[in-house]
Chains A and B, each alone.
Chain A
């Protein structure tokens, strides 16, 4: 059995957020084809819903795009009404891709040498609650 290492999703994928009304979409694009299987296994709708729990998503829908090596998440109700209604400085939710990229991911040892720069993808330290 191979030992697992945990990295932030940021080490494995990049993404961008789009918004329409109170709906946000977050794309997730694997840096390398070898990462996709792990990303698909780890970044489930349930885990994404949990990562955004404080924003009370009404639904989280995941689409997998193997030919692009990408996933697309559609989150409903996470923008406090959307760009015209929200009180957030970032009313579009443009920063939200990086909330998803904070997700800790356990990766098989064989992927570790493929990480380009793990220094900048440390798991963010959350304050103990």
Chain B
């Protein structure tokens, strides 16, 4: 095979709720650069899919990324014109619904109908899959109130969809790096067992999957790690060669920076054993990896290896898990910390034994602490003069959880002196159990959908 040109892959979202103005500068840069290119949006955290499944129950047309229009409208026309493939998991619980919406957006903008592919097979929430999930999770599965169950699919169906002519690939649950590996496989014609190349492209995908986290977002620490124009941080672009090696850069004319330090932080993000970063596609190995600056806002990654992919696929089963109740109240001025601590005692005495509460003294000790209150107890009372007391609890029964919000509100008249600014929240909780299922039990594929 002739050596194919470098593939440029831009990233325009790192989670559901990321900036919707990120994509345009990335696409402008890809267009100006010329040559083959793809654009990914990663919008699916573990819980996002369960929330999408709930939305779909209420409205059969819903259940895909709620910001889909805002994400796509600014860039759909230039991507179609320049042949930039769009690959995303923004289908969430309803990829077919997202595909219909994309066609509607194209019509509204007076564009021709794009060729959209929907990735299928990840959704295991149907009754037919119950036995499979029970085998994976065990008997505790029977007591779960399941909201969603999705297997992490890999790059193969994405690559196949692109090879079949798809301009936009809409997936639900796929492994985040596979959003990049898929278009690279299709472009370079890599085999599904080309572990070295898949391993390298997987780490390119890993560097892109969190959007600005590799270009100076989530990085600044003034005086130690300064980032220029953080308010306008640009999103990343990976230039991937035929061997899967990549150079990370970013959208032209934007803030942020790509340095060896930003790339190292993201390279190790959510990595456990560096020799075995597992995805459905490959076991990537960064134990011998290194990064090297290759010009302004350009960093090359090398030394990544790949080993055979895992035999089984990971499945996340999301289930209902009762209620989370939270309440906050502020104390300031002389004795503020003592008054906040007294308020916490009042709440604990009123709510026990049915409810155990977590106590945070914001401004004294909070997020570093633990739910059991060990660190708060070990921190002797001091004289902080501006303290926000925050308490939280969880319970299966909504009415029981709600007692916390009522008791925090009652501190206005029944608690220590001078408390103000009560805020309370009561939310349903979702929890996730993961299991592994045989690859053969999951039927990953794609469908090209008409306009």
Give the interface of A toward B (CB within 8 A). Answer: 10, 14-16, 18-21, 23, 25, 27, 29, 31, 54-56, 63, 65, 67-70, 72, 74, 80, 83-90, 95-96, 99, 116-117, 119-121, 127-129
Assuming A14-B265, A54-B378, A83-B47, is B270 touching A95 (CB within 8 A)? Answer: no
Question: Nearest CB to that of A121 among chain B residues?
Answer: B224
The interface-forming segment of B81-89, B231-239, B248-256, B363-371 is B363-371
B294 in contact (CB, < 8 A): no
CB neighbors of A among B273-319 (8 A): 273-274, 286-291, 303
Chain B residues contacting A69 (CB-CB under 8 Å) are 264
B264 touches A80 (CB 8 A): no
B392 in contact (CB, < 8 A): yes
A27-B271, A127-B379, A129-B380 given; name 15 further pairs at CB < 8 Å: A14-B224, A16-B219, A18-B268, A27-B264, A27-B268, A69-B264, A70-B268, A80-B371, A83-B47, A84-B430, A87-B392, A88-B360, A88-B370, A89-B360, A89-B390
Question: Nearest CB to that of A102 among chain B residues?
Answer: B368
A89 to B374, CA, bound (A): 16
A23 to B270, CA, bound (A): 9
B222–chain A nearest beta-carbon distance, Å: 8
A65 to B274, CA, bound (A): 8
A50–chain B nearest beta-carbon distance, Å: 13
Question: Nearest CB to that of A116 among chain B residues?
Answer: B224
Assuming A84-B321, A117-B223, A127-B380, is B265 touching A18 (CB within 8 A)? Answer: no
- When the two chains form the complex, which single residue of B290, B367, B378 contacts A68, counting CB atoms closer than 8 Å? B290
Assuming A84-B432, A87-B324, is B371 touching A67 (CB within 8 A)? Answer: no
Question: Nearest CB to that of B382 among chain A residues?
Answer: A127
B44–chain A nearest beta-carbon distance, Å: 14
What are 30 A-B contacts with C-beta separation under 8 Å?
A14-B265, A16-B266, A16-B268, A20-B272, A21-B434, A25-B268, A25-B272, A27-B271, A29-B265, A54-B369, A54-B374, A54-B378, A65-B287, A65-B289, A67-B288, A67-B289, A67-B290, A68-B267, A68-B286, A68-B290, A68-B291, A72-B272, A83-B46, A87-B393, A88-B369, A89-B360, A89-B366, A90-B367, A96-B368, A120-B222
B393 touches A16 (CB 8 A): no
A74–chain B nearest beta-carbon distance, Å: 5
A27 to B270, CA, bound (A): 9
A23 to B274, CA, bound (A): 15
CB neighbors of A among B370-429 (8 A): 370-372, 374-375, 378-380, 382, 390, 392-394, 429
A115 to B398, CA, bound (A): 53
B321 touches A95 (CB 8 A): no
- When the two chains form the complex, which single residue of A18, A86, A117, A120 contacts B269, counting CB atoms closer than 8 Å? A18
A95 touches B430 (CB 8 A): no
Question: Nearest CB to that of B291 among chain A residues?
Answer: A68
- When the two chains form the complex, which single residue of A19, A29, A85, A87 contacts B270, counting CB atoms closer than 8 Å? A19
A15 touches B265 (CB 8 A): yes
- When the two chains form the complex, which single residue of B221, B265, B321, B375 contacts A54, counting CB atoms closer than 8 Å? B375
Most buried by A among B224, B303, B324, B360: B224
Question: Nearest CB to that of B275 among chain A residues?
Answer: A63
Chain A residues contacting B273 (CB-CB under 8 Å) are 63, 74
- When the two chains form the complex, which single residue of A68, A83, A86, A119 contacts B371, counting CB atoms closer than 8 Å? A86
- When the two chains form the complex, which single residue of A15, A27, A31, A95 contacts B368, counting CB atoms closer than 8 Å? A95
A100–chain B nearest beta-carbon distance, Å: 10
B306–chain A nearest beta-carbon distance, Å: 17
Question: Nearest CB to that of B267 among chain A residues?
Answer: A68
Chain B residues contacting A80 (CB-CB under 8 Å) are 370-372
B103 in contact (CB, < 8 A): no
Assuming A65-B287, A67-B289, A88-B358, is B370 touching A54 (CB within 8 A)? Answer: yes
A72 touches B271 (CB 8 A): yes
Question: Nearest CB to that of B371 among chain A residues?
Answer: A80
B225 in contact (CB, < 8 A): yes
A104–chain B nearest beta-carbon distance, Å: 16
